[in-house]
């Protein structure tokens, strides 16, 4: 049986990043993974500019200024943000500037207007300002040639802002990962259809489609399938043609209807491993079909979702081209107890806020999906732990 870590490592070793790239506009780049580094083509800001309303001048001219004996300078003009005129400011002179206005190279500081008499033709300055003070220098945010987006990095809103500030309009990203999603089970009915006694609504298709969308994956969510190995095998073979990865739920345990063990050989897929030493989702089955990973999750909704987060999500990030794929971990103190002992490793749902870890909901069974609402982490309880008490320090996997 694999551990969480060995199973994940095996899966990642089989996951090949998509090769195709595409050029997208900046506004379409959010969440996409950069396929090329972006070096700043220009500097930002593009020119020395004033960060406040005042006067730019030569600091030496006001070195001895005080309220009692102000320095008196002639004002050569006025520049606001957007002013394209190039002023020359000789010694003994000042240029009235508003925030964002260019500061000519001969000026080495800006004095705030509050420290002057705000004069129009001549200005009286009441205090000195040091050399180089109150000027935003060209390139101080980003120098030309700086790396502003790394290959393998997911594009964030902040990246988009920086790229826009540099005049960049397009980014080369990996194409989106395409995943096939299939929930299996004779009992499954799609929402909107009437339920007969013994049937349940297919929650996995909905929740995993939503998670795939959140991760920027193109999901091909098939209609749920009955527990017939041949049918499921044909459906997956057909859908696999246009997919990078296959994700299924249901039918991986040891029961009569646990068909996925027959589906893999029926498709000619190779089994990578079966079973992981953890609850929930221990019967996780993983295979490879024509170089594509098959991630077969247990049907219990929490088991499916927890295993999706710890196994499928890193795999999808790697397929998508992200270089950072490891699980993010944290630590915190429990604000309530968990009464069950954990002879084996167990993941339970919780919400991490600061260094507090609150259990979400009261039903921790793997068939319950409700306690997933508000959950932002999974507490990773090591095998051999007793019941957990309020105040215990726990390790969490952040979602």
Binding residues (CB under 6 A) for ligand AMP: these are: 183, 185, 187-188, 200, 202-205, 249-253, 298-301, 367
Q: Are 121 and 75 in contact (CB under 8 A)?
A: yes
Closest CB to Mg ion among residues 185, 287:
185
Query: Exposure of 71 by Cβ count < 10 A (0-12 exposed, 13-18 middle, 19+ buried)?
Result: buried
**Which residue in the shown chain puts its C-beta closest to ligand AMP?**
299
Q: Are 56 and 110 in contact (CB under 8 A)?
A: yes
In angstroms, what is the minimal distance from the CB of 380 to Mg ion?
27
Of 40, 21, 114, 120, whose CA–CA distance to 76 is shortest? 120
Give the N- to C-terminal CA distance of the chain in Å, as an integer. 25
Residue 250 within binding range of Mg ion, rule CB under 5 A? yes
C-alpha distances in angstroms, 307 versus 166, 258, 269, 301? 41, 18, 21, 10
In angstroms, what is the minimal distance from the CB of 307 to Mg ion?
15
Closest CB to Mg ion among residues 365, 376:
365
In angstroms, what is the minimal distance from the CB of 263 to Mg ion?
12
Sole window of 27-35, 135-143, 250-258, 345-353 interacting with Mg ion (rule: CB under 5 A): 250-258
In angstroms, what is the minimal distance from the CB of 290 to ligand AMP?
25
Tell me which of ligand AMP, Mg ion, none is bound by residue 59, counting a contact when its beta carbon lies within the kind-specific cut-off of 5 to 8 angstroms: none
In angstroms, what is the minimal distance from the CB of 44 to ligand AMP?
50
Order of strands, edge to edge, in the sheet holding 245-249?
A: 218-221, 178-183, 245-249, 292-297, 285-289, 270-274
Q: What is the 3-state secondary structure (H, E, C) of 237-280?
A: HHHHCCCCEEEEECCCCCCCCCCHHHHHHHHCCEEEEECECCEC
Closest CB to Mg ion among residues 250, 314:
250
CA 148, CA 39: separation in Å to the nearest integer? 6
Binding to Mg ion (CB under 5 A) within 34-93 occurs at: none
Closest CB to ligand AMP among residues 134, 366:
366
In angstroms, what is the minimal distance from the CB of 367 to ligand AMP?
6
C-alpha distances in angstroms, 93 versus 68, 75, 112, 125? 20, 6, 15, 11
In angstroms, what is the minimal distance from the CB of 146 to Mg ion?
54
CA 390, CA 358: separation in Å to the nearest integer? 10
Sole window of 49-57, 145-153, 292-300, 332-340 interacting with Mg ion (rule: CB under 5 A): 292-300
Report the interhelical angle of 313-320 vs 4-14 (nearest 10°): 30
Sole window of 242-250, 305-313, 354-362, 387-395 interacting with Mg ion (rule: CB under 5 A): 242-250
Sole window of 33-41, 244-252, 327-335, 376-384 interacting with Mg ion (rule: CB under 5 A): 244-252
Closest CB to ligand AMP among residues 265, 367:
367
Q: Which of 185, 281, 287, 314 binds Mg ion (CB under 5 A)?
A: 185
Closest CB to ligand AMP among residues 289, 302:
302
């Amino acid at each position: 049986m694999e551990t969480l870590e060995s199973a994940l490592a095996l899966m990642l070793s089989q996951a090949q990043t998509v090769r195709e790239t595409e050029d997208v506009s900046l506004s379409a780049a959010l969440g996409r993974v950069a396929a090329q580094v972006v070096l700043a083509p220009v500097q930002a800001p593009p020119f020395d500019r004033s960060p406040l309303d005042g006067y730019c001048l030569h600091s030496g001219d006001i070195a001895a200024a005080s309220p009692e004996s102000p320095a008196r300078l002639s004002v050569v003009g006025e520049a606001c943000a957007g002013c394209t005129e190039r002023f020359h400011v000789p010694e003994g002179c000042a240029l009235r500037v508003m925030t964002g206005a260019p500061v000519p190279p001969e000026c080495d500081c800006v004095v705030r207007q509050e420290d002057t008499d705000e004069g129009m033709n001549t200005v009286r300055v009441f205090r000195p300002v040091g050399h180089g003070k109150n000027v935003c220098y060209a390139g101080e945010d980003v120098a030309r040639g700086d790396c502003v987006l790394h290959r393998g990095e997911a594009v964030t809103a902040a990246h988009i802002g920086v790229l826009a500030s540099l005049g960049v309009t397009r980014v080369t990203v990996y194409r989106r990962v395409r995943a096939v999603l299939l929930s299996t089970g004779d009992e499954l009915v799609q929402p909107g259809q009437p339920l007969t006694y013994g049937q349940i609504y297919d929650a996995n298709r909905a929740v995993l489609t939503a998670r795939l969308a959140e991760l920027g994956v193109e999901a091909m969510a098939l209609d749920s399938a009955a527990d017939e190995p041949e049918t499921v095998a044909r459906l997956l073979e057909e859908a696999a043609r246009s997919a990078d990865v296959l994700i299924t739920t249901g039918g991986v345990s040891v029961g009569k209807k646990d068909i996925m063990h027959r589906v893999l050989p029926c498709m000619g897929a190779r089994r990578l491993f079966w079973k992981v030493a953890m609850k929930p989702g221990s019967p996780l089955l993983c295979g490879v079909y024509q170089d594509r990973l098959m991630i077969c999750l247990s049907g219990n909704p929490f088991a499916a979702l927890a295993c999706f987060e710890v196994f499928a999500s890193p795999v999808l990030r790697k397929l998508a081209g992200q270089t950072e794929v490891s699980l993010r971990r944290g630590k915190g103190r429990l604000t309530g107890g968990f009464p069950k002992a954990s002879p084996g490793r167990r993941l339970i749902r919780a919400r991490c806020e600061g260094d507090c870890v609150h259990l979400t909901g009261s039903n921790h069974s793997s068939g319950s999906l409700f306690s997933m609402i508000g959950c932002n982490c999974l507490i990773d309880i090591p095998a051999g732990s007793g019941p957990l008490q309020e105040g215990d320090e726990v390790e969490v996997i952040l979602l």
